[in-house]
Structure 1
């Protein structure tokens, strides 16, 4: 069990609507995110910033101690010196993948993985999936308006991830769905492997992500649109009442954003063996399709 802090994402969906356009101001082309691990040195509630002694951030910087602002400044009071955390570092990319063009770094999706103050008790307790654990038989409503159960996929290797269809951050849900589309395409090249596997994208926004919405979203990512039969890749959502149990079991942090259409969330991708047990858990966006394909082939052998 561990405490999770949800930090609201400050999103600007239309750059021109947020800042006046001037010739000297570089246009923001995209947002990028990097997984971060480190130790809180200090926390400043007045400014909403923390001093973090962090490990190397591949693609961004080497290990160092520096100050970062939080996406939700008021949560600085919940972080204490010597707390160990993981987080997503969000930056605005003005020059593609050139680190010199990364601006406005802020920490989002902060998770306290080691508490310095044991008297702090979180409202919600999250379970961390570990290899060998049984997966509960959660039920879901899929894109075809049929109720499916996780247990029905026993005998197959299942790759499952969590998304919602309105997610505006390219490195979050859209990236997971693109990765799954690449994996689905790669599996089709091997009929035996294709028959031994199943993909499952679970929405944590069941009120908006109805079967019709999930069908349209899923068909776009498979590339078959209205011709998709969804025999190999389901898009589904749990009932509203069962959503907390499922997200807490799979360690999916979830909180409303300032915009009612936007949810602040963490990532969670799970590889499930033929016996219905956890084979691997991936809580960030840095896993690679080729590495996951290796894991899937080994599990299906």
Structure 2
């Protein structure tokens, strides 16, 4: 057998731990209560909001800015433009890195996306109308191979609601994307030695983009709840005649 790199071993551990690891992170989360309902080979996470979101279509979402593009790599290592993934469908975009262990950060976003993907796929009318994107800001470690293992079945291209995991070829190609979206990311360093600890400091931001590539909502942890995001997605689709 060929030797397996430490990076691949780490990604496989992430994949095997899967929902159990994410739930452990969320058990530390001070926000909405979370429980895991297991059925068959899948786990559905139920995040209980602290308030009732408004009914879809009863409000309007602002036009915040044009969704920026940029050079990215897909899970096959193919060079693409981010703009290819933010047009023609309602898109939910998060910036993440696979080794994040902050319960208020990437693991929480992962569960929200996982929950939304499963919920949307229960209604065939959403097929081809909504997509999810997770873009890594750790290109040195989050290679396409790593992200493919991290994504697991969520990234199956045959799923009615696609969830694409993207990275970049270099930090140089990543930085303009982060700047254009206003996503701040900082390297965490040991205060005594000044050496990088291998982790990042960032405020979780998730961007809701309409089918015309307009950013219509930006969520932080406080408001990133499946019920709220689901209602916002339906509200955007209703602008094009979707009947809830």
Q: Is 1:292 paired with 2:238?
A: no
Answer 1 or 2: which has greater strand percent.
Answer: 1
- Rg bigger for which structure? 1
Aligned to 1:257: 188
Aligned to 1:150: 82
Aligned to 2:164: 234
Q: Is 1:176 paired with 2:104?
A: no
Which has the bigger relative contact order, CA under 8 A and spacing at least 6?
2
Q: Tell me, yes or no, if the aligned pair for 1:175 and 1:285 is still in contact at 8 Å.
A: no
Aligned to 1:141: 73
Q: Which TM-score applies when normalising by structure 1?
A: 0.53
Q: Is 1:243 paired with 2:156?
A: no
Distance in 1 (CA, whole Å) between partners of 2:151 and 2:222 is 20
Pair 264,33 (structure 1): closer, same or farther in 2 beyond 3 Å? farther
Answer 1 or 2: which has greater helix percent.
Answer: 2
SS in structure 2 at match of 1:195: coil
Aligned to 2:132: 199
Distance in 1 (CA, whole Å) between partners of 2:95 and 2:222 is 12
Q: Which TM-score applies when normalising by structure 2?
A: 0.65
Q: Tell me, yes or no, if the aligned pair for 1:172 and 1:267 is still in contact at 8 Å.
A: yes
Moved over 6 A (4+): none
Distance in 2 (CA, whole Å) between partners of 1:284 and 1:30 is 15
Q: 1:89-128, aligned counterparts within 5 Å?
A: none
Q: CA deviation at 1:146?
A: 2.1
Distance in 2 (CA, whole Å) between partners of 1:149 and 1:163 is 18
Pair 190,32 (structure 1): closer, same or farther in 2 beyond 3 Å? closer
Distance in 1 (CA, whole Å) between partners of 2:158 and 2:205 is 22
SS in structure 1 at match of 2:68: coil
SS in structure 2 at match of 1:256: strand
Q: 1:57-96, aligned counterparts within 5 Å?
A: none
Unaligned runs of 5+ in 1: 1-28, 35-57, 60-129
Unaligned runs of 5+ in 2: 1-25, 34-61, 190-195
